[in-house]
């Protein structure tokens, strides 16, 4: 979603701001802008489209100024135009501000401010806040911002400066992330740690309703009651290389091909084969709650939700645990029958997805134990949950989630062993799963050897407008995920089905122009899947099958086969999803789509 960068320090701010914006590009945006205090003037430029358009507008103009703010906007209120791009300012052009989130009561506030004589120049909800601050300003920006917050309803993070307060930047957050980077030469504030780590690895995550008052390298953090907050900086160990493409044409391909390593990173130090068990230090503080747990409710969105669906099969089959998955955006609006032994699990790569976070907060209000599977360390979901497991896979940059998904599956299988072993799972069963997890790196590398073949299949099928994805049991959620990947980056219509469900209506779609991708590994539902493939073939439909190495039977019936190595049934999704990721990737490349930044989408959806 939108990105924020702000800097106050000894260096020239322009390069720091532009570098930060470029590193936030992956989140998705449609316009951008900067405002820098250049002595007693404000330098402001905005552009629609990519950051390079903004850079072109700036040209080689020398801009002095050690304090500035910048923004990438993803349109919510008002179309993507220069007028609507941030930063926004008040009537006198003195107060400049960038904002992420949504001001829900902006229309009412705007009407009131217009009545009081304020003149607006954009259609955004953000501009309202610049005028509100103007209304309350009496020589102290932090106090004026704080007063404005009393009038505002919604989720936000803001960074603002006032022309007459030389090196001061003021920022605040509620429901939308904001991180401070403590560099030697100054302080950088951003919506995402990726915009910071070139300058410093020492960061502080702000909590809701904390205000940070920055003056060069000095800063103070307060809450709304003016109480001073002492916060410890933490060290981010992501490397710059992890933020670059390293020779790959797209981040998505780099992330798909990096899965042998990222899966290993998620397993590192956690497998204890000799005990047929796993070690998950992040769960130690809720060992008793997990022991007493009667049911687990997973909450997540999109791809992470599909990981939870696979987790349901794992946890029910191997940990004897009643498990249910709920889409984050639905959680708040349904009545669920929790009991004091329920546990809520939030799964989120970014840890900032508003729908997932809101669900966790709702569960916290009901005193239900919450745990998280999160990639971004110290992100909002990580902080809102009582305990958790980190993915440890470094930043995921491509909008379409790939390495995070396989890591979520691996982490859910670790959780299955952990919970299974404190219930009925035998030592040999625990050991079997652990030993199979140890072999994943090698098996994923084997699946990746199919890339050229998959690119060839994509070449044959790229003009087809519709696809069905089918699978049963553990691979049913993988059918849903395969369809989502194809839709989001190649804009081809695709639907995922449970293999046995298609004959209850959707089979009517199938003809020679409507191909199916069928997940048919040799597992407990293999024979049933074969029957469904025959039904599709009998209607003239083409079938691309993902099956187990060495299988000849499937190859005899279908049009194309992609092989994956044999593994435990519960772990097959970790292998079977990879050909679908590669297929979606190559379809999008052939169709000339913007693979890493698909239209209309944002990497981290921080609004409900
Ligand atoms: C799809 C995709 C999204 C995310 C979803 C949740 O490729 O990336 O569906 O999985 O928005 O995001 P996180 O995991 O950050 O909560």
> pLDDT tens digits for 468-525?
999 999 999 999 999 999 999 999 999 999 999 998 999 999 999 999 999 999 999 9
Q: Report strand pairing: 67-73 vs 95-103.
A: unpaired
Average pLDDT over residues 120-126: 93
* pLDDT per position as a tens digit, 189-233: 999 899 999 999 999 999 999 999 999 889 999 999 989 999 999
Q: Is the pLDDT of residue 275 over 80?
A: yes
Pairing of strands 210-215, 41-48: unpaired
The answer, yes or no, to whether any atom of ligand 1 lies below 6 A from the CB of 517, is no
Give CATH 3.40.50.10490 domain extents, the chain: 245-438, 442-596
| Å from CA of 399 to ligand 1 middle | 8
Share of the chain above pLDDT 70, in %: 100
Residue 8 in tokens: 């106050």
Element (H, E) at 468: strand 466-471
317-364 pLDDT, tens digit each: 999 999 999 999 998 888 777 788 999 999 999 999 999 999 999 999
Q: Is 488 in the pocket of ligand 1 (CB under 6 A)?
A: yes
Query: Residue of the nearest CA to atom 6 in ligand 1?
Result: 301
Give the residue carrying structure tokens 């009991």. 339
| Fold for the domain defined by 245-438 | Rossmann fold (3.40.50)
Distances (CA, A) of 149 to 2, 171, 211, 291, 505: 20, 12, 11, 43, 52
pLDDT at 335: 78
Q: Which helix (H) or strand (E) holds 180?
A: strand 179-182
How many CA atoms within 13 Å lie on the side-chain side of 228?
Answer: 3
pLDDT band (50, 70, 90) for residue 244: confident
pLDDT at 6: 98
Q: Is 372 in the pocket of ligand 1 (CB under 6 A)?
A: no
* d(C-alpha 131, C-alpha 137), whole Å: 10
d(CA 430, CA 422): 11
Work out the angle at residue 491's Cα, subtended by the Cα atoms of residues 488 and 492, and round it to the nearest 5 degrees. 115
The per-residue pLDDT for 1 is 64
2-236: in CATH 3.60.20.10: yes
For residue 27, the model assigns a pLDDT of 78
Q: Is the CB of 606 under 6 A from ligand 1?
A: no
Backbone angles phi, psi at 571, to 5 degrees: -100, -5
Strands (E), 40-94: 41-48, 67-73, 88-89
CA of 400 to the centre of ligand 1 (A): 7
Q: Three-state SS for 215? A: strand
Q: What is the mean pLDDT of the chain?
A: 94
What does the pLDDT read at residue 32? Answer: 96
Give which of 178, 190, 99, 95 is closest to 140, Cα–Cα.
Answer: 95
With vertex at residue 235, the alpha carbon angle to CA 215 and CA 229, rounded to the nearest 5 degrees, is 45
d(CA 570, CA 147): 54
Indicate the pLDDT class of residue 28, thresholds 50, 70 and 90: confident
Q: Please check the confidence at residue 253 and state whether its pLDDT lies above 70.
A: yes
DSSP string, 3-48: EEEEEEESS-HHHHHHHHHHHHGGG--SEEEEEEEETTEEEEEEEE
Residue 304 Cβ contacting ligand 1 at under 6 Å? yes
Give the other-Cβ count within 10 Å of 209's Cβ.
15
The 10s digit of each residue's pLDDT in 358-398 is 999 999 998 999 999 999 988 899 999 999 999 999 999 99
For the beta carbon of residue 205, count every other beta carbon within 10 angstroms: 21
Question: How many angstroms does the Cα of residue 264 sit away from the middle of ligand 1?
Answer: 21
Q: Is the pLDDT reported for residue 556 higher than 80? A: yes
> Is the pLDDT reported for residue 114 higher than 90?
yes
Q: Report the candidate in 178, 45, 159, 147 with the shortest Cα–Cα distance to residue 99.
A: 159
More confidently predicted of 246 and 144: 144
Taking only the tens place, the pLDDT of each residue in 133-182 is 999 999 999 999 999 999 999 889 999 999 999 899 999 999 888 999 99
Q: Which residues are catalytic?
A: 2, 603
CATH 3.60.20.10-classified regions of the chain: 2-236
Q: What is the band of 291 on the pLDDT scale with cuts at 50, 70, 90?
A: very high
For residue 401, pLDDT over 80 is answered with yes
CB half-sphere exposure, 578, CA atoms < 13 A? 33
CB 9 within 8 A of CB 169: no
174-188, 302-316, 578-592: least confident range:
174-188
* Integer Cα distance of 33 and 17 in angstroms: 10
- Of ligand 1's atoms, which has the minimum distance to the CA of residue 381? 16
Please name which of 381, 22, 34 lies closest in space to residue 195, comparing C-alpha atoms. Answer: 22
Mean pLDDT of 84-92: 96
Q: Which residues of 108-145 are buried (b: 16+ CB within 10 A; e: fewer)?
A: ebbebbeeeebebebebbbbbbbbbbbbbbeebbbbbb
Dist. CA 365 → ligand 1 center (Å) = 25
Name the CATH code of domain 442-596 (choices 3.30.420.40, 3.40.50.10490, 3.40.50.150, 3.40.50.720). Answer: 3.40.50.10490
The predicted structure's pLDDT at residue 246: 83
pTM of the complete model = 0.85
Tally the C-alpha atoms within 13 A of residue 510's C-alpha that lie toward its C-beta.
Answer: 25
């Amino acid at each position: 979603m939108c990105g924020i960068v702000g800097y106050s320090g000894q260096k020239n701010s322009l390069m720091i701001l532009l570098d930060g914006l470029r590193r936030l590009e992956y989140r998705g945006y449609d316009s951008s802008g900067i405002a820098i205090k250049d002595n007693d003037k404000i330098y402001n430029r905005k552009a629609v489209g990519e950051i390079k358009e903004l850079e072109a507008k700036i040209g080689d103009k020398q801009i002095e100024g050690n304090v500035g703010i910048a923004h990438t906007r993803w349109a919510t209120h008002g179309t993507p135009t220069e007028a609507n791009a941030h930063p926004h300012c008040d009537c006198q052009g003195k107060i400049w501000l960038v904002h992420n989130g949504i001001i829900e009561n902006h229309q009412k506030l705007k009407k009131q401010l217009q009545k009081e004589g304020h003149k607006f120049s954009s259609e955004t909800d953000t501009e309202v806040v610049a005028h509100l601050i103007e209304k309350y300003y009496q020589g102290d920006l932090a106090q004026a911002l704080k007063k404005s917050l009393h009038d505002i309803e919604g989720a936000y993070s803001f960074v603002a400066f006032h022309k007459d307060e030389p090196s001061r930047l003021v920022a605040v957050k509620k429901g939308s992330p904001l991180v401070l980077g403590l560099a030697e030469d100054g302080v950088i504030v951003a919506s995402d740690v990726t915009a910071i780590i070139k300058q410093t690895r020492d960061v502080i995550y702000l909590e809701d309703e904390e205000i940070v008052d920055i003056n060069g390298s000095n800063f103070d953090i307060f809450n709304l009651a003016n109480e001073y907050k002492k916060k410890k900086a933490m060290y981010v160990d992501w490397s710059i290389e992890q933020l670059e493409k390293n020779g790959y044409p797209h981040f998505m391909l780099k992330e798909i091909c990096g899965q042998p390593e990222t899966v290993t990173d998620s397993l590192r130090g956690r497998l204890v084969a000799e005990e047929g068990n796993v070690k998950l230090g992040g769960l130690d503080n809720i060992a008793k709650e997990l022991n007493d747990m009667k049911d687990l409710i997973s909450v997540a969105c999109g791809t992470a939700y599909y990981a939870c669906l696979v987790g349901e099969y794992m946890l029910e089959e191997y940990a004897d645990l009643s498990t249910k998955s709920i889409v984050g955006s639905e959680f708040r609006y349904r009545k669920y029958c929790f009991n004091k032994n329920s546990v809520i699990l939030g799964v989120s790569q970014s840890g900032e997805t508003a729908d997932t976070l809101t669900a966790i907060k709702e569960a916290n209000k009901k005193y239900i134990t919450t745990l998280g599977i999160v990639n971004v360390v110290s992100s909002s979901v990580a902080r809102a949950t009582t305990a958790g497991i980190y993915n440890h896979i470094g930043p995921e940059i491509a909008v379409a989630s790939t390495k995070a998904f396989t890591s979520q599956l691996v982490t859910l299988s670790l959780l299955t062993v952990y919970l299974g072993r404190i219930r009925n799972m035998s030592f040999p069963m625990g050991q079997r799963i652990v030993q199979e997890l140890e072999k994943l790196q090698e098996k994923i590398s084997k699946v990746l050897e199919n890339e050229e073949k998959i690119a060839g299949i994509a070449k044959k099928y790229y003009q087809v407008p519709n696809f069905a994805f089918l699978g049963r049991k553990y691979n049913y959620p993988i059918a849903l995920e395969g369809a989502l990947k194809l839709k989001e980056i190649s804009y081809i219509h695709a639907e995922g089905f449970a293999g046995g469900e298609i004959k209850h209506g959707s089979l009517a779609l199938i003809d020679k122009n409507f191909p199916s991708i069928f997940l048919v590994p040799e597992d407990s539902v293999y024979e049933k899947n074969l029957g469904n493939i025959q039904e599709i073939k009998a209607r003239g439909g083409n079938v691309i099958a993902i099956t187990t190495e060495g299988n000849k039977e499937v190859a005899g019936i279908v049009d194309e086969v992609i092989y994956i190595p044999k593994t435990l049934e519960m772990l097959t999704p970790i292998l079977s999803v990879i050909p679908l990721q590669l297929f979606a990737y190559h379809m999008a490349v052939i169709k000339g789509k913007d693979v890493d930044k698909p239209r209309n989408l944002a990497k981290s959806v921080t609004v409900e």
